[in-house]
Amino acid sequence: MPHFGLMDEKALGLVKGPFQRARLHIRGGKRRLREGKISAGIVTLYDALLGAIESYVNSPENRQRIVIKADDDLRSEKVLYAVLVRSGVLDGAFDFEAFSRLTEKALEEEMPWYDSRDVLNGIEQVMAQLGVMPFDESELPPEDPSTF
């Protein structure tokens, strides 16, 4: 993954660690898409989204804005996404279920034919709603091209 060797996620903690991973994976996912590594780019963007959600939910100040029901399984990324939509943090315009299915397909096969522009636009909108984007890429550690 694009963050290997660029950060110590555990040392950064439950909020800053996943937040930084999300930013690094957005950058890395976009690069992979530009390079035609579509499946790897999609999987990387999925992990970026999970990092952003994890960071948001773990933040004590954000936790106050989240409506959690007793039967919500907070170990499920699909449930966490739905909780953030229900809570008004996310507008729900992004089809998380479809993106999850696409990511599963990307894990199974390379998809050079797939046009990823709509997915990337949707991810960027969600990242903006979660406060991860926009950001200055020059503030991130330099990319290591050997990370695939």
* CATH code for position 129: 1.20.58
Residue 42 covered by a domain: yes
pLDDT for the residue 14 = 84
Could you tell me if residue 84 is inside a domain?
no
Q: Which domain holds residue 46?
A: 9-61+94-136
Establish if 147 belongs to a structural domain: no
Contacts for 14-19: CB closer than 8 Å, 24+ residues apart: 14/54, 14/55, 14/58, 15/55, 15/58, 15/59, 16/55, 17/55, 18/50, 18/51, 18/52, 18/54, 18/55, 18/58, 19/51, 19/52, 19/55, 19/132
* Number of structural domains in the chain: 1
pLDDT of residue 140: 60
pLDDT of residue 145: 63
Q: Is residue 98 part of a domain?
A: yes
* Residue-level pLDDT, tens digit, the chain, 148 residues: 444 455 555 665 688 899 999 999 999 999 999 999 999 999 999 999 999 999 999 999 998 899 999 999 989 999 999 999 999 999 999 999 999 999 999 999 999 999 999 999 999 999 999 999 877 776 765 666 666 5
Rounded Cα distance, 62 and 131, in Å: 11
Q: How far is residue 60's CA from residue 94's CA, in Å, rounded to a whole number?
A: 25
User: What pTM did the predictor assign?
Assistant: 0.87
Asked whether residue 27 is domain-assigned, the answer is yes
> How far, CA to CA in Å, does 61 sit from each of 6, 39, 51, 93, 95?
27, 35, 17, 24, 26
Q: Is residue 82 part of a domain?
A: no
Distance CA 109, CA 8 (A): 30
Residue 23 in tokens: 């930013």
